[in-house]
A and B are shown apart, each in its own frame.
Chain A
Amino acid sequence: MKRLLVVLGAACFVVLLIGAMLDLAPASIALHAAVSANLPSSGVEHPVTAVLLNFRGYDTLLEIAVLLLALIVILAIGIDSTTDVRPAASPVLQALARLAAPLMIVVAVYLLWVGAFRPGGAFQAGAVLAAAAVLLHLAELLPGWQSPGLRLRLGLAGGFLIFLAVAAGLLFQGALLEYPPEQAGWMILLIESGLTVSLGLILAGLFLLLSRDDGDRS
């Protein structure tokens, strides 16, 4: 009964909404024009990066807070170490991981740098870093995490704190996150570099905290 109702409701919703989409007039505001017009004073050349770090940089600031928060919640829940019996990593995988990890770090740096004028940026770079950590963990070259020590916590929160510090520093000169156009470039690069490291650590942490096994120490 419940099943039938939910399925019927969902089907009606789909038909109604797609119908409404089909006879929709064009939007009266075209923000892409405003983005292009202000791109030169944003400090970067790629429009998506400009929106993410400048025009709507505040969204990104809060979003990093959400990600850091998720990691803190996982730490706060307290995960019992369960003994996962995992087959020992093969030497081939280990050799491959040893080879791939440095390359992935190089790729991450490239992605970070290229973000200013092409698709890329801190998130993509951080994700590649995190993937390298996960790969090393799966190859049993990197242990899972217990509760993080001070240095690790500094790495996890550092990117967010740099972002927060820049945002607050600019507040004293005008508005929150109001970069002076000529300094916007290096400020955004500073924020993105910090974010790359922290995002890599946080994303890796989301995995390594959940998958740690007995006796590992970070």
Chain B
Amino acid sequence: MSAGLLFASVGVILFALGVAGVLLLGHLLRRILAFNVMGSGAFLVLVGLAQRNGIADPVPQAMVLTGIVVAVAATALALALVRRLYVLTGKIELPQDDEG
């Protein structure tokens, strides 16, 4: 197994962990962290799998840089929403199903 494939495999595990976290965790900060773990997993797969033969490829590297910035934006937005929710309700959890 080449280093690239190893990175990609770890990426798959991180992605699965992250999705499980987003689905299962109630505390919103943990959920945001889980989303970031998930995103990092996808980025690792992107750079690892594309460079599994050991040749550097700048295209997936640039894509990951773009992806990271997008993830930063999404994380900041999520944090702002959580903070607003905390100010309004005093809780860092989503209310249980308020819809029938």
Q: Which chain A residues have a beta carbon within 8 Å of chain B's beta carbons?
A: 2-3, 6-7, 10-11, 13-14, 17-18, 21-22, 24, 26-27, 30-32, 35, 47-48, 50-52, 55-56, 59-60, 63, 66-67, 69-71, 73-74, 77-80, 82, 123, 203, 206, 209-210
The interface residues of chain B lying within 8 Å CB-to-CB of A203 are 72
Question: Do B66 and A21 have beta carbons less than 8 Å apart?
Answer: no
The interface residues of chain B lying within 8 Å CB-to-CB of A69 are 73
Sorting the interface of chain B by its residue count into under 10, 10 to 19, 20 to 34 or 35 or more gives 35 or more
Question: Do B69 and A66 have beta carbons less than 8 Å apart?
Answer: yes
Bound CA–CA A82/B82 (angstroms): 14
A-B contact pairs, 28 of them (CB 8 A): A2-B24, A7-B20, A10-B17, A10-B19, A13-B12, A14-B16, A21-B5, A22-B1, A24-B49, A24-B52, A31-B59, A32-B55, A35-B57, A48-B58, A48-B61, A51-B61, A55-B59, A56-B63, A56-B66, A66-B70, A69-B73, A73-B80, A77-B80, A77-B81, A79-B83, A79-B87, A82-B87, A123-B65
The interface residues of chain A lying within 8 Å CB-to-CB of B17 are 10
Check A63/B61 contact, CB under 8 A, given A13-B16, A77-B80. Answer: no
- Pick from B8, B23, B73, B80: contact of A67, CB below 8 A: B73
The interface residues of chain A lying within 8 Å CB-to-CB of B16 are 10-11, 13-14
Bound CA–CA A147/B70 (angstroms): 23
Bound CA–CA A183/B53 (angstroms): 35
Question: Do B12 and A18 have beta carbons less than 8 Å apart?
Answer: yes
- Is chain A's binding surface mostly helix, strand, loop or mixed? helix
Question: Do A70 and B55 have beta carbons less than 8 Å apart?
Answer: no
Query: How many contacts A-B (CB < 8 Å)?
Result: 108
Check A14/B12 contact, CB under 8 A, given A66-B73, A79-B87, A123-B69. Answer: yes
Bound CA–CA A48/B70 (angstroms): 17
Q: Mark B21-51, 1 if CB is under 8 A from A, else 0.
A: 0011000000000000000000000000110
Bound CA–CA A69/B19 (angstroms): 25
Question: Do A210 and B83 have beta carbons less than 8 Å apart?
Answer: yes
Question: Do B77 and A73 have beta carbons less than 8 Å apart?
Answer: yes
B84 at the interface (CB under 8 A from A): yes
The interface residues of chain A lying within 8 Å CB-to-CB of B94 are none
Question: Do B65 and A21 have beta carbons less than 8 Å apart?
Answer: no
The interface residues of chain A lying within 8 Å CB-to-CB of B70 are 63, 66-67
Question: Do A26 and B53 have beta carbons less than 8 Å apart?
Answer: yes
CB distance from A145 to the nearest CB of B (A): 13
